[in-house]
Amino acid sequence: MECTRCGACCVAPDIAALDKPLGMRCPHLTADSLCSVYEHRPQVCRDYAPDEVCRLIEAPTLEERVQKYLDLFGLGAEAESARQQGCASMRRARGMS
């Protein structure tokens, strides 16, 4: 399957190598859903390959795709908790500390 560059894989899952919590937008994801550190992205991002999950979460907006991903894996409550608590390292990465 070819990547559709929807950005869901940069928001929905947690990415330990980037200290990115579940359901939070990666600070390197640009407004046009591209990676701003693509040439220097961690190995986990390099190894990612689009699969059937990408088809299952297809939706018109990034927010809808992310919600479908979280629902698919039963992670909605955990992601909401992460969003409410915030993440100090993510705030620093976004320059909001």
What's the CA gap between 56 and 50, in Å, rounded? 11
Residue 43 falls inside a structural domain: yes
What integer is the mean pLDDT of 54-69? 96
Residues 13-45: tens digit of each pLDDT: 999 998 899 999 999 999 999 999 999 999 999
Q: Which residue has the higher pLDDT, 58 or 85?
A: 58
Question: For the chain, how many structural domains are there in total?
Answer: 1
2 in any annotated domain: no
97, part of any domain = no
Residue 3 domain flag:
no
Range of the domain at 42: 8-92
